[in-house]
Amino acid sequence: MAENTKTAPEAKPAEKVTPPASSNHRTLQVSILRYNPADSESVPHLQTYQVSETDSMTLYILLNELRDTQDPSLQFDFVCRAGICGSCAMLVNGKPALACRTLTRDLPDHFTLAPLPGFELIGDLSVNTGKWMRGMSERIQAWCHVNEEQINFNKIEKPMDPKLAEDIYLLDRCVECGCCVASCGNFRMRPDFVGAVAINKISRFRLDPRDHRNDADYYEVMGTESGVFGCMTLLACHDFCPKDLPLKTQIAFIRRKMAEQGITGKEKRTLKRVVPLRELKLD
């Protein structure tokens, strides 16, 4: 007699569960400082917009929606949308931050956006941080200095200790967004102050074994009141750095090293060959 067998039912594929959309979306009121310096009739003023909040909305998304649907004349900067270019830095309720990294759910129903202070204003929320950063880099000579008359680009570099490479990379994560400069009280009083971004760069090149300079060379560009000795240690730069760089540690370290060099003069300038920057010629 044949045995009765039962076939197991086929397993149904698991259904994808879509989380329900939040029903607590707010209507945001955004007051933006508007001013176009290229327009002689423009005057600084706050203009308020209303925007419906969406899930995971960032200020970058909000500003693009405003420009696409309400006001195409609104000026602001963005490039990467991932917090690695530094272009979208602005004041959010008076504090510097990156628009692409700021979620609207962390802000009140009504908030204010303004351009970063201390930089040349292009219009509305757009400022020329690149011009200031280039001038700062040229001033502190933020590139590797070598003493070879001719650089052999085919030469294989010596391996670097992994721990040293990690330490250099940590400081090299700066995106030059300008948040540290905009939040610096000393910079507002002394416009020639190089800022934490420059001190961080010097600390980075001081670690790099490919840069042949010593503390006497660094003292020439940082050992002044407009350099590291101009810092009043308010440390707002450290608090508002969107990349969480150890700025307070680097400021203290470079200040100590420059003080040692200034007092003892233990090292003499190397007079290494400086590779000059060639002017850009635009057609």
User: Is pLDDT larger for residue 273 or for residue 176?
Assistant: 176
Task: Report pLDDT for 279.
Answer: 45
* Side-chain-side CA neighbours of residue 218 (13 Å): 31
CATH of the domain at 89: 3.10.20.30
Please check whether residue 185 lies inside any domain of the structure: yes
Quick check: 65 and 23 in contact, CB under 8 A?
no
Please check whether residue 275 lies inside any domain of the structure: no
CATH of the domain at 219: 1.10.1060.10
Quick check: 187 and 237 in contact, CB under 8 A?
no
Task: Report pLDDT for 283.
Answer: 40
Determine the Cα–Cα distance for residues 134 and 235; give it in Å rounded to an integer.
Answer: 23
Please check whether residue 43 lies inside any domain of the structure: yes
- For residues 19-28, one letter each, b for 16 or more C-beta atoms within 10 angstroms of the residue's C-beta and e for the rest, the string is eeeeeeeeeb
Residue 212 CA: distances (Å) to CA of 53, 104, 147, 270 = 53, 47, 7, 8
pLDDT at 276 over 50: no
Q: In the chain, pLDDT over 90 holds for what percent of residues?
A: 75
Quick check: 212 and 147 in contact, CB under 8 A?
yes
Q: In the chain, pLDDT over 70 holds for what percent of residues?
A: 87
User: If DSSP codes are grouped into helix, strand and coil, which group holds residue 58?
Assistant: strand
Quick check: 124 and 33 in contact, CB under 8 A?
yes
Residue 77 has which token pair? Answer: 């900067």
pLDDT in tens, 69-106: 999 999 999 999 899 999 999 999 999 999 999 999 99
Please check whether residue 196 lies inside any domain of the structure: yes
Interior angle at CA 266, CA 260 and CA 267, nearest 5: 110
Position 278 confidence tier, pLDDT thresholds 50, 70, 90: very low
pLDDT at 2 over 80: no
Task: Report pLDDT for 198.
Answer: 97
Pairing type for strands 27-34 and 110-114 reads parallel
Task: Report pLDDT for 270.
Answer: 79
CB neighbour class for 14 (10 Å; exposed up to 12, middle 13-18, buried from 19): exposed
Name the residue range of residue 208's domain: 141-146+161-264
Pairing type for strands 120-123 and 126-128 reads antiparallel
Interior angle at CA 174, CA 255 and CA 113, nearest 5: 105
pLDDT in tens, 246-259: 999 999 999 999 99
Strands (E), the chain: 27-34, 45-52, 89-92, 95-98, 110-114, 120-123, 126-128
pLDDT in tens, 169-196: 999 999 999 999 999 999 989 989 999 9
pLDDT at 213 over 60: yes
* pTM score: 0.82
Partnered with residue 3 across adjacent β-strands are: none
Please check whether residue 96 lies inside any domain of the structure: yes
Pairing type for strands 95-98 and 110-114 reads unpaired
Residue 31 sits in the same domain as residue 83: yes
Position 154 confidence tier, pLDDT thresholds 50, 70, 90: confident
Task: Report pLDDT for 13.
Answer: 54
Domains in the chain, number: 2
Please check whether residue 77 lies inside any domain of the structure: yes
Determine the Cα–Cα distance for residues 281 and 283; give it in Å rounded to an integer.
Answer: 7
pLDDT at 165 over 90: yes
Mean model confidence pLDDT for the chain: 88
Partnered with residue 58 across adjacent β-strands are: 103
pLDDT in tens, 6-48: 455 555 555 554 444 455 789 999 999 999 999 999 999 999 9
Spell out the SS3 assignment of 70-133.
CCCCCCCCCCCCCCCCCCCEEEECCEEEEHHHCEHHHCCCEEEEECCCCCEEEECCEEEHHHHH
Please check whether residue 133 lies inside any domain of the structure: no
Task: Report pLDDT for 266.
Answer: 83
Residue 245 sits in the same domain as residue 174: yes
Task: Report pLDDT for 157.
Answer: 82
Position 268 confidence tier, pLDDT thresholds 50, 70, 90: confident
